[in-house]
Amino acid sequence: MAVGLQAEPSFGVPGKKRWAMVIDLRRCIGCMACVCADKAEFDVPLGVWRTTVKVSDTGVYPKVKKHFMPRLCNHCDNPPCVRNCPTEATYKHEDGFVLQRYERCISCRTCIAACPYNARHVLPNNRSRVKIGGVVDKCTFCQHRVEKGLVPACVQTCLGRARIFGDINDTTSEVARLVATQTVTVLKADKGTKPQVYYIKPDRTIVDQVLATPTSAAAKSDAEAFYRHNNGSKFYAGVL
Amino acid sequence: MIKQKELMGNSDLDDYTAEAFPRGEVLQVKSGLYSLLGRLFEEEVDLPLLELLRGELADSLAEAGVILSSDIAEGDPVQVLSALAEEYTGLFVQPGCVSPYRSVFETGRMFQPPCDEAAAAYKKAGWEFQHRLSGEFPDHMGVMLTFISKLYSAEADAVQKGDEARADQWRDMRETFVVDQIGPWGLGWCHRARILAQQQFYASILALAEEVLMDEIKELASSDQFQELVTLNRRPPVKLDYNADFRKASGI
Amino acid sequence: MNKQFKVSRRSFMKLGGTAATVAASLQSSRLVAMEQDLGGTDYSSVDGAKLETVPYTCLACNIEDGGVAHVENGRVVKLEGNMDHPNTRGKLCAKGNSGFLHIYDPDRIMTPLVRTGARGEGKWKRISYDEATAMLAEKLRAVIDRSRKEGDPSILNEIVFKYGRDRSGGAVKRFVSALGSSALLNHTNVCESSKKVGMEPTWGPDIESCDWANTKYILNFGSNILETAYFMNPNAQRLVDGVVGNKAKLVSFDVRLSNTSGYADEWFAPYPGTDGVVALAMAHVIMNEGLYDADFIRDWTNVTAEGLIEHLKPYTPEFAEGESGIAASDIRRVAREFAGVKPATVFSYRGPCKHVYGSYQEASIMLLPIITGNVEKKGGYCLPRGMGWDQPSPVPPKAKAPSAIAAPPLYPLASHHVSTHAPYMVMDGEAKVSVWMTYYDNPVYTYPSSGIWADFLKDEKLVPFLVSFSPYMSETTELSDLIIPDVTYLERHDPESMPGGLYPCLSIRQAVVKPLGNTQEFRQTLVDVIHKVDADGALDIKKYFNFKSPEDWVRSHFDANAKLQKDGGYDFLKKKGVWPIYGKVDKETAKIVDGNGNEVEPEYNLYKGKVSDADMEGAEIDEKGTIHKNGKTIGVQVNGVNYTGFGTPSGKIEIFKESYKKYGFNPMPVYKRLASRDKGADELVLVTYKVNVHTQSRTASLKYLAELYHKNPMWISPNTAAKREIADGDLVRVTSKLGYIVTRAHVTEGIHPDVVAISTACGHSAYGRLAQLKHKEPDSEWALGGDPDVTNNVWWDDKGVHPNPIIRLAVDPIGGSQGWFDTTVTVTKAEANDKYGDSQYDREVAMADYKETLRYTYTGDMHRKNHPEVDIDWSNLPLPGGH
């Protein structure tokens, strides 16, 4: 067993659940319903995102395309954030969720540095409804809904049904079948994190571009405003 | 959490609660003061109130720093009331105003948990919030001040009847209310509304309310607590809450 | 025995091992994975408690998606799609998900306000609903009394009611009719009215309902299906199902790379206003190459294939290429592909129809699904399917005198009227206003030449009394004399039915929480006003408003629906939000399935319903097959069968529109070259667009949406920008004849080189503090009333620049639509003293534009000049107002 409270990798282990998400990029239309559903579900403050959708254009007029790339925590089977958390604040649930215990978090940001996906953020101290801030937060795969038999909020509202959620260890589940039958990719497989968010039709996206800096002046000025506002203390994960 | 103090015989009581007054009378005075402030914030000035402000109350108001400008003191009542109503609406009612609700102050939204807390406190003390116009909620500053007035008055009655135990109950209720429900925002609210007030009248009423509340809270809170409340009123980042209930927010 | 056992055991193991490797293809059909539920309930993310769930119908925009509100301690904490809604299938868009923020917004108007300062000065006095309704009633009664005294019913038309989004199920019309006025103005001509006027005379209804999920080929003309078009949510869901699940090809025509065009298999950017000629050229190819459905044209249209071929002769692909810039070879190829694949469908929305002569464009586009026989087929181009409800009796009679501003006489074919003209007509003395009521409408922000609306509504001589029912301080509401605030859409009651998909259904809006802080539903305000107008009973109009409560009123719409009553009536709707329930949403396919998991298929071929023998009794069949009864068309006989047919005079699809010809318009779909096609060499065509996360004007103050989209730089193509020495992000001045705005350039490959595009979502001068970023202003430390999130975390500092002040009025003389995309502009680097957000407009030019656009109406000189081919007696056109 790894450091801290990391559950053993459970991908493919019989008798274990391993929640996973498949994102079918052929079906994502960049409607941003997931972003808003998630913000509402968790009272996510402005300036941080548990999930977001990156938009990019490629090509030269008149052959131009748009690409939408939903992003969230990969709930890695071998999560580096968990290994690197000095206080055991972040841990891996045995069903595969990578979660955060606020009361143990000292906001040292080690996990943020360790996460290759920029999926973690420090909560601002000011929120509308939920009074917790100053600690690291992240997508939970809506564990509070999933444990009661519901899909995550972003999956629930996804207009294109681009987000599919389920137990990948159950070979009859839709996620398992999609992963078995479609060409899928995961982000930064070379990091050994065993991410559990699978993307269908990766040719529609440019995986490396996902974390690229903004290129248009409009996006740059948004990012600049963001960094100005946060004194450069946060990573801009907004829509570009 | 409330530092209890005897009202009577304490050396740092305010000017207007001089030692010479018996407990009951001090309480009645305070009740009167809060009822006036409460009334002024709860709704617009009407003709009877204007007459009081111009007449019976004028001198004592002036002593407390509330001076009626000549147009309010002498102008045509209809015009004066209309001007005051316009200011009232601009300051406390219309979009863009300094919302007089604790919910808005603390959460940015109307009708949030502070509303329920205020309503519960009124109910516990035997009163019920009843709206007159639309858009009114129990966590209104004016209603809260009126509530304090009622509690003072009830305490005074108990004292008058010699029921010290009952009087102490009323006092505890008031002190808890002031510290818990006005402490975190009352001073900041008065301060900000005063800055935005355009008429001297509302500015001075707000200044008076701020002073009165400041004294009241200083009286009740320890110095650490007072500092904490002052900070809260400035609305810096809300204190990090380690309440175990919030663990659920991350799905643990 | 033992040995044998071992052997067999080994083989078992082997078999098992092999089986495990192919497990995925050996699925049991009985024991399936315990899939997670798709929705319907929610739990608090804070303490895990189950939330109370109340269904409603969304009104964030106008699609009317089915929703459920999750309520905790009497407060809405989360919205979600209603899983029982057959068309929206449990999904909400970004706006729908954020709608609950409206309710508790401290910038909401919570009490009636009466103006104390000058108009627009922002000085108010609060009053009660009782006082406010009495004040309005008094003003209304004064007009009514004057009309009665002078015996002139036309005076009643000085009571003007203008709405933008009326989802009251008939309440507004009832109110205005009860007052005796016909001055009921909608907003439809800034919306899609010319599309409607292209479609209605052709086949009856005003919109198509595509069977996206089952189609194989989709032609999209200028619509942004995946972001904003009518029925965006249900259409987007099924378009994706069609493209991914059914391998349909999507070909999209748009001057700008919308998300829809960016998602399409092929994107073509025609010159603005030339979609119609591309469609005509495709029809030309299809007809000339024999790719058409000969039976359908013969049996179900009022033209012949030969006649069509003759009519389409001029519209060669080469001609279309010259007009649109789309290569003739592409036009041919796409036409052949489209006609060669069945089923196929076509969609258009607020692109092609938003030009002068937009009605022709729509009619041209409609040709394609018709001549290929895709109408009402599975996977094809279907009629909309809605359900109605009854109006509770008694219903007030229609007003006696027609109102010129409600139905401008120079636009006889514009069945959805020409609301843009109202201020000009009043200024010109063609109509008089005593009381102007505005409801869900914000013309000062959303109309072309928007400055004229501000001027008009500020003028107390022209508009003596202005009342708004808005719960938000919009650019229009802030000019009012009296505000009687409505509630948000989550606190009100309405009957609903939207043809958002192929399953017809009824739904309701209900108060998922009580109107906040004892605010009052608009419906109740109407009841109160009427009862006060007629306090003495002399007008005998109270009887039209005898409802115990808003809910009682809405309930009464459904009393006579026997089928619904059998299922539980209004209470069923209260519980489920929608009726009927067709089935469940399949977890994997999202199709609506029955208890056995089989798809519940929608009905197709609606026009092929049979006229019953009872209905045929006493009916007459004319030589064209049309079945008449009691002066009405009840069907059409085709090949000896009596079908219900289409909602046209002949019962068939009328490609030839007699009604157009009567006024000198071409009865056939044609292309008319627009002035913008001949723009100057240095000019560009300015277009506007909506984005997926905002409505036209109501959502800029919702923080989740504002965070996603808060500024609207002008899209411009790289070469076009380079020619003007404009770099990405530069400050630019965009100048039309009307005035100029100063904004920033967004240089992108995704736009036609002759076009610049500015979204209409941003650039508010009202609508709450967040929409205007007021809290960023230096002296506004206190600005947002303390939402810690908004006060501290709003990181953006750009609220955008609104384009409407420089968009010129130009109206389609047929359908009456505003030509939003006909304004030409010059774009230059900003001048030395220009500041971001500067805006200027010239009222004289606006007035001249109005006069100019009247020249295109059927009595105008430009009309005849543009229609030399129409063979009528030009000296004997019907008189205005005679329609």
Are the CB atoms for B236 and B228 separated by under 8 Å? no
Are the CB atoms for A140 and A99 separated by under 8 Å? yes
Helix (H) or strand (E) holding A145: helix A143-146
Candidate from A32-36, B34-38, C17-21 with smallest mean pLDDT = C17-21
Mean pLDDT on C34-42 = 77
3-state DSSP assignment of residue B247: helix
With an 8 Å Cβ cutoff, is A14 touching chain C?
A: no
- For chain B, the domain total comes to 1
Report the length, in residues, of chain A: 240
Mean pLDDT of chain A: 87
| CB nearest to B82's CB, from C116, C472, C768 | C116
| DSSP per-residue codes, C466-488 | EEE--SB--TTGGG-SEE-----
pLDDT in tens, A178-231: 999 998 999 888 899 999 999 997 664 455 555 556 788 998 899 899 888 887
Are the CB atoms for A237 and A71 separated by under 8 Å? yes
Q: What is the CATH number of the domain that holds B114?
A: 1.10.3480.10
| CB nearest to A26's CB, from C41, C244, C745 | C244
Candidate from B25-29, C262-266, C298-302 with smallest mean pLDDT = B25-29
User: Per the domain annotation, does B122 fall within a domain?
Assistant: yes
pLDDT band of residue B158 (cuts 50, 70, 90) is very high
Highest mean pLDDT among A102-116, B178-192, C161-175: C161-175
Query: pLDDT above 90 covers what percent of chain C?
Result: 89
Mean pLDDT on C52-78 = 94
- Tell me, what's the pLDDT at C786? 58
Q: Which of A46, A105, A129, A132 to mutate to test the interface with B (most CBs of B within 10 A)?
A: A132
In order of their start, the domains of chain A are: 19-229 (3.30.70.20)
Mean pLDDT on C462-483 = 97
Query: Residues B226, B229, B234, B237: is their CA dihedral positive or negative?
Result: positive
Tell me the sheet residues that pair with A52.
A71
Pairing assessment for the beta strands C266-268 and C249-253 based on DSSP bridges: parallel
CATH topology of domain C193-382: Dimethylsulfoxide Reductase; domain 2 (3.40.228)
Mean pLDDT of chain C: 93
Domain-wise residue ranges, chain C: 113-191+398-492+522-537, 193-382, 606-662, 679-843
Chain C positions touching B99 (Cβ under 8 A) are 106, 785-786
3-state DSSP assignment of residue A63: strand
Please give the residue that has the higher pLDDT: either C99 or B223.
C99
Distance CA(B228)–CA(C752), nearest Å, equals: 60
Closest CA relative to residue C109, chosen from C490, C462, C558, C517: C517
Instruction: Say yes or no for a CB contact (<8 Å) between A65 and C262.
Output: yes
User: Per the domain annotation, does B15 fall within a domain?
Assistant: no
- Tell me, what's the pLDDT at B235? 56
Distance CA(C697)–CA(C213), nearest Å, equals: 31
Chain A positions touching B246 (Cβ under 8 A) are 102, 130-132
User: Per the domain annotation, does B248 fall within a domain?
Assistant: no
User: Per the domain annotation, does B203 fall within a domain?
Assistant: yes
pLDDT band of residue C238 (cuts 50, 70, 90) is very high
| DSSP per-residue codes, B49-98 | HHHHHHTTTHHHHHHTT----HHHHHS-HHHHHHHHHHHHHHHHTSTTS-
- Tell me, what's the pLDDT at C269? 98
Mean pLDDT on C380-401 = 95
Alpha-helical runs (H) found in A168-215:
174-181
Residue B18 has pLDDT above 80, yes or no: no
pLDDT band of residue A5 (cuts 50, 70, 90) is low
pLDDT band of residue C25 (cuts 50, 70, 90) is very low
Residue B11 has pLDDT above 80, yes or no: no
Residue C507 has pLDDT above 80, yes or no: yes
pLDDT in tens, C552-597: 999 999 999 999 999 999 999 999 999 999 999 999 899 999 999 9
ipTM: 0.95
Query: pLDDT above 90 covers what percent of chain A?
Result: 58
Mean pLDDT on A41-61 = 91
Please give the residue that has the higher pLDDT: either A215 or C139.
C139
Q: Give me the amino acid identity at C446.
A: T
Chain B positions touching C116 (Cβ under 8 A) are 82, 85-86, 89
Chain A positions touching B108 (Cβ under 8 A) are 128
Closest-CA distance, A58 to chain B, in angstroms, reads 37
Lookup: tokens for C112: 């009636």
- Tell me, what's the pLDDT at B5? 35
Chain A positions touching B249 (Cβ under 8 A) are 42, 102, 130, 132
With an 8 Å Cβ cutoff, is B234 touching chain A?
A: no
Lookup: tokens for C880: 């205005």
pLDDT band of residue B69 (cuts 50, 70, 90) is confident
Instruction: List the subunits that have 3+ CB pairs under 8 angstroms with A.
Output: B, C
Dmax (CA) for chain A in angstroms is: 55
- Tell me, what's the pLDDT at C792? 81
- Tell me, what's the pLDDT at B237? 34
- Tell me, what's the pLDDT at A209? 52
Going by CATH, does the domain composed of C679-843 fall within 3.10.20.310?
no
Distance CA(A84)–CA(A3), nearest Å, equals: 8
pLDDT band of residue C270 (cuts 50, 70, 90) is very high
pLDDT band of residue C367 (cuts 50, 70, 90) is very high
pLDDT in tens, B119-137: 999 999 999 999 889 999 9
Distance CA(B118)–CA(B124), nearest Å, equals: 10
pLDDT in tens, A61-109: 999 999 888 999 999 999 999 999 998 899 999 899 999 988 889 889 9
Going by CATH, does the domain composed of C113-191+398-492+522-537 fall within 3.30.1360.200?
no
| DSSP per-residue codes, C503-559 | S--EEEE--SSPPGGG---HHHHHHHHHHHHTTTSTT--GGGG--SSHHHHHHHTTT
Are the CB atoms for C787 and B110 separated by under 8 Å? no
Distance CA(C769)–CA(C766), nearest Å, equals: 8
Helix (H) or strand (E) holding A155: helix A153-157
Mean pLDDT on C480-490 = 98
Q: Give me the amino acid identity at C851.
A: K
Are the CB atoms for A215 and A206 separated by under 8 Å? no
Candidate from A35-49, B134-148, B232-246, C22-36 with smallest mean pLDDT = B232-246
3-state DSSP assignment of residue C632: strand
Pairing assessment for the beta strands C113-115 and C482-483 based on DSSP bridges: antiparallel
Distance CA(C193)–CA(C509), nearest Å, equals: 26
- Tell me, what's the pLDDT at C775? 72
Mean pLDDT on C478-492 = 98
pLDDT band of residue C466 (cuts 50, 70, 90) is very high
Mean pLDDT on C394-419 = 96
Q: Which residues contact C347 (CB under 8 A, 6 or more apart)?
A: C208, C210, C218, C219, C220, C221, C223, C225, C229, C235
Computed on alpha carbons and rounded to an integer, the radius of gyration of chain C in Å comes to 29
Closest CA relative to residue A32, chosen from C91, C183, C61, B19: C91
Exposed e or buried b per residue across C19-55, where buried means at least 16 C-beta atoms within 10 angstroms of its C-beta: eeeeeeeeeeeeeebebbebbbbbbbbbeeeebbbbb
Chain A positions touching B113 (Cβ under 8 A) are none
Instruction: Tell me which residues of chain B have a C-beta less than 8 Å from any C-beta of chain C.
Output: 44, 82, 85-86, 88-90, 93-99, 101, 104-113, 116, 131-137, 192, 195-196, 235, 237-238, 245-246, 248-249, 251
Candidate from C77-86, C269-278, C783-792 with smallest mean pLDDT = C783-792
With an 8 Å Cβ cutoff, is C750 touching chain A?
A: yes
Q: How far apart are the first and last CA of chain B?
A: 31
* Alpha carbon distances (Å) from C698 to C125, C517, C702, C710, C767: 24, 21, 9, 13, 8
Distance CA(C349)–CA(C191), nearest Å, equals: 10
Please give the residue that has the higher pLDDT: either B59 or C564.
C564
Q: Which residue has the tokens 């509202």?
A: A157
Are the CB atoms for C136 and C529 separated by under 8 Å? yes
- Tell me, what's the pLDDT at A57? 87
- Tell me, what's the pLDDT at A125? 77
Structural domain including B170 reads: 20-234
